[in-house]
Amino acid sequence: MDNYIRARVGGSCPEPVPEEVMELMEFAPEGAMAGTPHLPGTREFFSCLEGQVTIFVAGERYVLDAGDVLGFPGNNPHSYRNTGAGKAVGVSVVVLAKAGF
């Protein structure tokens, strides 16, 4: 998968949030990225800010346009693809499960 830029967003929350990762994700036209499944209990949220991003989660397809948000279990196989005409941008928030819980 290619044409994808990942940028970690540092200091975006006014206070520390344990076990949370927030990333700005930018996709060139037709750009795509495979997600990495996490531990069971992990939750992922993707907010589309610009363009159109299609997210595949455990074989299901979700098309997000600017302003749409999708939440899904982060332990399932998932991937992202820009299915719009231009650049696509979104924010991913991963709330990680702790091992052994």
pLDDT at 28 over 80: yes
* Confidence (pLDDT) at 33: 93
- Per-residue three-class SS string for the chain: CCCEEEEECCCCCCCCCCCEEEEEEEECCCCEEECCCCCCCCEEEEEEEECEEEEEECCEEEEEECCCEEEEECCCCEEEEECCCCCEEEEEEEECCCCCC
d(CA 36, CA 49): 22
Grade residue 17 by pLDDT with cuts at 50, 70 and 90. low
pLDDT digits (tens, 9 = 90+) for 54-77: 999 999 999 999 999 999 999 999
For the whole prediction, is pTM greater than 0.85? no
Pair of tokens at residue 90: 């979104």
* Confidence (pLDDT) at 8: 47
Where do we find the tokens 């709330």?
95
CATH number belonging to domain 21-88? 2.60.120.10
Average pLDDT value over all residues in the chain: 86
pLDDT digits (tens, 9 = 90+) for 39-55: 999 999 999 999 999 99
